[in-house]
Amino acid sequence: MPKPLHLLARLVPQSLLGRLTAVMVVGVLLTQLAGNFIWAAQRRAEALNEVNAASQHLGHSAASAVRFFLSLPPNYRPLIIQQFREMGGTRFLVNINRAPVDVQAIAAQELADAALKQLRSTLKEDLPNVSKLRIDFAWPERLPVSDEGATIGDLPDSWVQHILLTKPAPVLLIQVEMDPGHWLYLATLMPNPYFLETGNPLTHDRLLLQALSLAAVLLLSILVVRWTTRPLAALAEAATAFGNGEQAPALPETGSREFMATARAFEAMRERIQRYIEDRERLFVSISHDLRTPIMRLKLRTELLDDDDMRAEFHDDLDELDMMVKGALQTVKDSDIHENPTEVRLDALLGRMVRDAQLAGHKVSFEASGLTVTAKPLALKRAIGNLLNNALHYGRQAEIAVRRNAGNIEIEIRDHGPGVPEDAFGSLCEPYVRLEHGRKQNSSGMGLGLGIARGIVQAHGGELLLANHPEGGFRATIALPGGAFDPLALPGQDH
């Protein structure tokens, strides 16, 4: 798998609840992003139209003011401006300077540039005889009013009451040369002083509204998904319990129509499998009982044969047949042990098995681990016993180690034999499969031990790992999942 896809797979939640919640959240986010994009495009177009219309109207007003002052004699202009100020000001803050005032214009923005372009076009159209014209947007802080250095903050409040607002807004500054040495200074606000903010779709109010809607959708999706997936969790628990041979309560036939159909199908499947297992047990018990009688009769009749060689061959064939019947019955019984899971102290269990092997003259080493695992004691003992017997038969010497690894409890049995060819691992656990050196060293075996051990381990939800040891020999590792704990943490426990 390519690295980006592998990384994406790791980021995707593993649970159905997490995946459905992620899909809901991503869907809402994509919908909001698409909605914001469309709304922003529409709002941008509307804002441009509004700014152009307002700029055109303001340009006509400014042109009228300029024409009015152009019509006055130069010595009357200061008197008219003083009258405007005494009256409390007008829409425009008006002043006459000897030269244009230099101002620090605001940073370039789409709406501001569109407004300036429309104003310049309107003023040139209304004032064709004016050759020198300056138009800028500037912030009111430290905005100069005259060429003598006075700022807008130095003027009386009554003069600038229509310009200075509580929240600063960009000031439109128009400077027109009426005649040499006389520049008309006009300062005002746009009809919408905060027109620059209309082009921003991600306002605080809109972001808060979208965050609240996302939180509401997330909460509702989690509640709905949990309500939907809760029956599936009960179904998974029932399937796990049934797979481990435990008695699980019947699934409630409540919930959605699909889950009720699944629950009924699962219950029917569980009943069929249970009947199959019971029928299989009865079948093998019957086969064992029915075959032993004719085998015994054949052995008795074999004794009547005069030919010693033929009698010996018949005995060997009947013994092999009897062993095959017993082995098949053992396979069924050993892989289907009816026990209740309990806490098994591995040190005590393995210690007894090691002592028995040592009393029989075998070399077995084992170090206590203090670990405990939830399992069926007799079944687990049979699985470990099969692996230990194989190690002692084919390796002469065995080593047992118990450790905790990534949340699992691992029981490793290693021998010092010749190991297993790599091409034989695929069929090693199949019934009646035996390797060449195994047939030489243990002629009475039937090749059922590994298969029985694997079936028991898998019934516990674990895994049987088979591999050659790097330092020689063969090792079989029983990996049992979760539920393991350290009994040293429990009061009153002996070790």
Model confidence pLDDT, tens digit, residues 6-20: 665 667 677 766 777
Longest dimension (CA), the chain: 157
pLDDT bin (cut points 50, 70, 90) of residue 177 is very high
The answer on pLDDT for 115 being more than 90 is yes
32/110 same-domain check: yes
**If you average pLDDT over residues 362-371, what whole number do you get?**
88
pLDDT score of 136? 93
Angle at alpha carbon of residue 360, lines to 355 and 362, rounded to 5° = 80
Within this chain, do residues 180 and 315 fall inside the same structural domain, yes or no?
no
Per-residue pLDDT band for 427 (boundaries 50, 70, 90) equals: low
pLDDT band for 495, please (50, 70, 90 cuts): very low
Residue where a domain stops, chosen among 282, 308, 333: 333
**Among the ranges given (226-230, 379-383, 454-458), the one the predictor scored with the smallest mean pLDDT:** 226-230
Tens-place pLDDT, residues 307-346? 877 878 777 777 777 766 666 666 555 555 556 788 889 8
What pLDDT is stored for residue 265 in this prediction? 84
187's enclosing H/E stretch is strand 182-188
Say yes or no: 365 and 264 in one domain. no
151: DSSP letter:
B
Give the C-alpha separation, 126 to 58, whole Å. 12
Q: Which CA distances in Å does 416 have to 350, 353, 459, 470, 473?
A: 19, 19, 29, 11, 4
Residue 249 counted as domain residue: no
Q: What is the mean pLDDT of the chain?
A: 79
The whole-number average pLDDT for the span 244-258 is 70
Cβ atoms 457, 445 nearer than 8 A: no
Q: Convert the pLDDT of each residue in 20-57 to its tens digit.
A: 777 877 887 888 788 878 877 888 888 889 999 999 99
Last residue of a domain, one of 160, 178, 199: 199
Nearest CA among 282, 255, 251 for reference residue 268: 251
Which range in 116-120, 144-148, 388-392 is most confidently predicted, on average pLDDT?
A: 116-120
- Number of domain units in the chain: 3
| Claim to verify: residue 40 and residue 180 sit in the same structural domain | yes
Residues 143 and 68 both lie in one domain: yes
pLDDT above 90: residue 230: no
Range of the domain at 148: 19-199
CA separation for the pair 476, 175 (Å, rounded): 94
C-alpha 478/C-alpha 484 separation (Å) is 14
* Amino acid of residue 30: L
Cα gap 68→334, rounded to integer Å:
112
Do residues 319 and 426 share a domain? no
Phi, psi of 339 (to 5 degrees): -140, 160
98-113 mean pLDDT: 89
What's the CA gap between 167 and 279, in Å, rounded? 87
* Domain-terminating residue out of 199, 218, 244: 199
**Are the beta carbons of 187 and 175 closer than 8 angstroms?**
no
DSSP state of 105: B
Helix axes 257-302, 308-334, angle to 10 degrees: 160
Q: Which residue has the higher pLDDT, 388 or 423?
A: 388
Handedness of CA 273, 275, 280, 281 (dihedral sign): positive
Cα 486 to Cα 353, 367, 372, 461, 495: the distances in Å are 21, 15, 6, 20, 11
